[in-house]
Every structure is written in C-alpha cells, then in structure tokens.
A and B are shown apart, each in its own frame.
Chain A
Amino acid sequence: MSVWARIAGWAALIFGLLYFFVPLGGLFEFSLRARRGVYSFDAYARVLADPQFQATFTYSVVMALVTIAIGILIVVPTAFWVRLKMPWARPYVEFLTLLPLVIPAIVIVFGYIRLYNTSSWLPLTGSTLGTNILLAFGYTILALPYMYRAVDTGLRTIDVATLTEAAQSLGAGWATILGRIILPNVIAAVLSGAFLTFAIVIGEFTLAALLDRPAFGPYLQRIGANKAYEPFALSVIAFAITWGCLALIQLVSRFQKTAPAKA
C-alpha cells in the first residue's frame, strides 16, 4: 500500500468520525449550558427529577421487558421449527420478518386501531390492559427483524437437527428440547436480540403516541417541543441507553466465544 493510499484511508476514517461525533459533541455541549455562563448538569438534574420522566421511563422499560419475553416465546420456537422441519420456508419467513422494516409503523398502528377498536370483534383498545397488550405486540412486530435474525444466526452455530434427535431418543418432548437444549445454546444470540429490542422500544414514538400510552418516546417529543435545554440532555441520555445496549451485545457475544455454550 502506498503512502498516499494510507493517508487517504486515515483521512476518510477521520472524516467519518468527525461527521458522526461533531454533532453529538455539539449536542452534549449545548445540554450543559442550562445555567448561564458556566457548564453544569442542571438540565440533567431537572430531567431526572421530573416525575413524568420517571413514570414514562419505567413504563417503557416494563414494556420493553414484556416485548422481549413475547419476542423470545414467538421467535425461538418459530426459527427452530423452520430450521428443523421446513428449511424450504426459510426465505419466506425471513421475508415476513423483514416486513416491519418496510411498512411504516403508522400504517401498522392504524391497522391495529381499525382491527381492535371498541366496536370490533376483539376490542383491545377499549381497556388500558388491552391497549398495553396491543402495544407490546406492536413492539414485538417492530423488533421482529432484529430478533429473528439474531436467533436464526445463533441456531446456525449448532447442529439443530442432530441435537434434537439426540434429545428425542433420550425421551425428551418439544418443551424440554426447546427449554433445555435449544434456548441455552442460543442464549447469547437471544440476548443480543433482546438488547436491540430494548433500544427500539425505549425510543419508540409512533405506536405509543397513537395508542395514547404514557411511554418514554412521546415524553421525549413533548419535552422537545416545550423546553430549551432538557431535550438535549434527554437525547444524550437516550444515546447513552442505546449505546449501553450495543455494548452489552458486544459483551455477550464475546462471552459466548469462551463459554461452554460453544461446541
């Protein structure tokens, strides 16, 4: 590689980093300016002390955990079954799981409202619990592309068919096979899917706003429209959460390389 090519490479990298970090730096810098003349964490303190923040954040965390649970219950058995019994169906299932990336959330939520409104056959939006359930399932759909891909990749690292047959010949039924053999062996993949789901749910706006649930996404939007410095502090917090999730994914995938989970 010539000197010029190397310099060009470094220049591209530095440009990319600047492109990414300068606005973030600006954002962070601005969020510290709540007190006139000096840098301070006043904006952060106000945000964290806001009972609205606490309530919506807690709500979204709980929703994220419920979504992850539903996602695991749906995706792991499905991906397992497709790999085991219907390998021909894999491209179709993959296509299906990608649809949420193509169909805007607004379309999904209007579909939901039409299907499950108070005068429908299943009036989920008629009660708080029903709406929460609807929202959790909506989130599950939004997270599906990531969850499915993560789990499917995890399944590729083990010999699903032979392990299943070995377990069957030892008397195990499907629940045992899924719970004791398949899930423990793809747990790292499942966790990385779970963290992505978490990151998505925490910041999601459209579904929560249109179903009128007190979630963190709409709160972010409200603050942004009404306050000066707090929204910037919140953005930094949201970034930190997302990055925390990504860091955890990295950690988990590294953990799997050394853990007994790998044959």
Chain B
Amino acid sequence: MTFLSLSHIQKSFGQVQVVSDFNMEIEKGEFVSFLGPSGCGKTTVLRMIAGFETPSGGTITVAGKDQSGLKPNQRNIGMVFQAYALFPNMNVFDNVAFGLKVAGRSKPEIEARVKEMLGLIKLEHLAERFPYQLSGGQQQRVALARALAPKPQVLLLDEPLSALDAKIRVSLREEIRMIQQQLGITTVFVTHDQEEALSISDRIVVMNAGAADQIGAPAEIYNRPATRFVASFVGTLNLIEAKVIDPVANRISIGDQGVTLREPLGPVKAGDTVSLALRPEAGSIAEGAKGDTALAGEVVSSNFLGSVVRTRMRVGASVISFDMFNSPGLRPPAVGETVTLRFTASDLLIIRD
C-alpha cells in the first residue's frame, strides 16, 4: 500500500524549473534512495516532502493525507541533514529529547525514549557530551536518533554521509539501514553516490534534471538501465556504437564483427546506428570462458585496481573495458596483444533515449 505519494510534483524558482513532473509512490517501511548528479533537484524534492519548500504544482500525501497547507512543524517528518545540525547549546540527551519536549511528553516518557534511541545508535555513554565534543560520525548518529525519537511518519536523509570519511561512511550507512529495518520506518535517502544507493536501498530513483529517469530495485537499475543517462550514471558501463545489419534478425555489427542481439531491435533499418551498453564485469577473456558471443580487439591499457584488473580494448571505433578478478596467478594481457572477449548476448543492452 502506498504510504508516501508524490504526484506530478513541480517546482520553479522564479523562471527556472528545477523539478518537472516528479512522480513516486513509496510503500510503508520502504527505503528509497534518490540518486542523481549535483543540481538535479534531489534536495528540492526532499525539502518539499518536509514542507520547507512549497511545490509549484502537484500533490504530496502521507498516509493518504494531503500535506499541502501543513507547516513543516505540523508534518511529523524526521529529517537528517548533511551538516548534522545538532543544537550546539544542548548535550546529546537534550538534542534527542528536543522533539519529545516540544510534543509535551512527560518526563519519564522522554527519559525512556531517549535512552532507547541512544541504545539504538550505541551512544548511551555519551549522553552528557556536547556536539563539539563528538566526532562527525557520532554527531550524525545523534542527529539520526534525534530525528527518530518523536516517531516520525517518514524519515528523510539528505546526503547524511557525505561529510564523513570513507570507512565511517560505509559502516554508518549499514547502521542506518539496520535501524531503518528494525523500526520499519518509511525512508527517503538522498545521495549522489551510486554505491551507497545500490547497497542499502529497496528501490532507487535515478534523477536527471528534475525528473525521475528510472525507478527500480538496485539490481534492476544496475542491470537494466532504462536510459542512456542512467546507464552512464550508475556503475561503469561501456557504451558501444553499433551499426544495424539486419533489423529482422537482430543482427548488428561492432567494428566489422557481427553480433546477434537477444533484445528485439525495434523500429530501425539497416545502416542505422544503435547504442549498446555492456558492463565491464559481463565478459571474460579467459580460456574456455562461457558465452555465445565473442568480440576480438586490441588491448589499449590494463590497470590494476586492487580486487580487479580493468583492461580496455579497441573494437572498431569503440573502446570496451572489462574486469578480471585479481588472483596470484593472473597474467594481465599486454598492451597491443589481441584478445577475445566472450559474453552472453543478453548482456548487451540496447540504450533507447
């Protein structure tokens, strides 16, 4: 059942349209990420849900209730900010208690709830500390506890991890996901980091220039990007230009090597150009590698990336990257060597814009 619904949301600042026709239905307890490049309108959509911005058009409903006309402090929507935004004049306990005090809860109730929240983020021992005495990661956990304490209907997080260093970023995002699942709270998480979005979301909304380009589960977004934008933004992807040989037989050529696609080509004619996408991890050049399709090419470069070796080879006018898992016995191909990449034809996606 839909819990948070955004329908035909638009937002303009003066003449500039920042969000155009944004639609999304979010289930109760779902964890949805907004993923997109800087300036695509993620924060703006989030702020409209929170009530800090008024949509220029469209409706937002939470639990069936239209939110228009409700002030931010009447919505009961929790928010976590990139800059933590803890109240500097209050210690951890009072920060977490703030929403409960405002709601006029009784003292014992507040105490119990704050304890529970601090337990959730494992910071009971720091209840007396002030924000300036905490690390960034600790501050953000307190901010999370503060947002969750008054039992909000929806939790919004705007790039909560981008001010933290890489290690904490990974551990905290898992913690956020765990807490979210434990409480079953409907959550919208904004990020421009695709790995972050892919790793913790139930569904991802890939945003481009103020609209949702694609909405889907992480695997779906990754494996079946719907647009060229999604394909290029999510993960590393080879974009290959191919020429149509026979539209009926789904036959195309890359360089001068013929390939038969699984996916129907659709309304194109022989000689047209089509764009194909191929993930670097889809193919292999190992002896006896499986796959119904092969492309031969000349190695341009080979880079050691830790757990994988990424090799680039030239096929006709396109350069295709592929990854090999690192192992002690691995011999990366030499530059100039000719290799044959094997993969399954269904891994070749047709990109339609």
Is B72 on the interface with A (CB-CB < 8 A)? yes
A172 to B73, CA, bound (A): 6
Asked whether A260 and B73 contact (CB < 8 A) given A169-B50, A171-B103, A171-B150, the answer is no
Q: Which of B78-86, B109-117, B289-297, B307-315 contacts A (4 or more CB under 8 A)?
A: B78-86
- Count contacts on A: residues with CB < 8 A to the other chain: 22
Report which of A159, A169, A176, A260 forms a contact with B89, defined as CB distance below 8 A: A260
Of all chain A residues, the one with the shortest Cβ separation from B47 is A165
Is B330 on the interface with A (CB-CB < 8 A)? no
Asked if A169 and B88 sit within 8 Å, CB to CB, the answer is: no
Residues of B36-56 whose CB lies within 8 A of A:
50-52
Please give, as numbers and ranges, the residues of chain B lying within 8 Å of A172 by CB-CB distance.
73, 98, 102
A250 to B77, CA, bound (A): 42
Q: Mark A168-189, 1 if CB is under 8 A from B, else 0.
A: 1111110010001100110000
Residues of B54-92 whose CB lies within 8 A of A:
71-79, 81, 83, 85-89, 91
Asked if B102 and A165 sit within 8 Å, CB to CB, the answer is: no
Of all chain B residues, the one with the shortest Cβ separation from A157 is B88
Asked if A260 and B130 sit within 8 Å, CB to CB, the answer is: yes
A76 to B58, CA, bound (A): 37
Of all chain A residues, the one with the shortest Cβ separation from B83 is A162
A128 to B88, CA, bound (A): 44
Q: Give B42 Cβ to nearest chain A Cβ, in Å.
A: 16
Interface residues of chain A: helix, strand, loop or mixed (majority): helix
Of all chain B residues, the one with the shortest Cβ separation from A177 is B73
Is A166 on the interface with B (CB-CB < 8 A)? yes
Q: Mark B222-248, 1 if CB is under 8 A from A, else 0.
A: 000000000000000000000000000
Please give, as numbers and ranges, the residues of chain B lying within 8 Å of A263 by CB-CB distance.
86, 88, 131-132
Is A262 on the interface with B (CB-CB < 8 A)? yes
Asked if A165 and B76 sit within 8 Å, CB to CB, the answer is: no
Asked if A166 and B81 sit within 8 Å, CB to CB, the answer is: yes
Report which of A165, A170, A171, A262 forms a contact with B88, defined as CB distance below 8 A: A262
Please give, as numbers and ranges, the residues of chain A lying within 8 Å of B131 by CB-CB distance.
263
Is A261 on the interface with B (CB-CB < 8 A)? yes
Q: Which residues of chain A have a CB within 8 Å of any CB of chain B?
A: 158-159, 162-163, 165-173, 176, 180-181, 184-185, 260-263
A-B contact pairs, 25 of them (CB 8 A): A162-B85, A163-B85, A163-B87, A165-B72, A165-B79, A165-B85, A166-B86, A168-B71, A169-B50, A169-B72, A169-B73, A169-B79, A169-B147, A170-B73, A170-B98, A170-B146, A170-B147, A171-B73, A180-B98, A181-B87, A185-B89, A260-B132, A261-B88, A263-B86, A263-B132
CB-based closest 3 A-B pairs: A170-B99, A263-B88, A260-B130
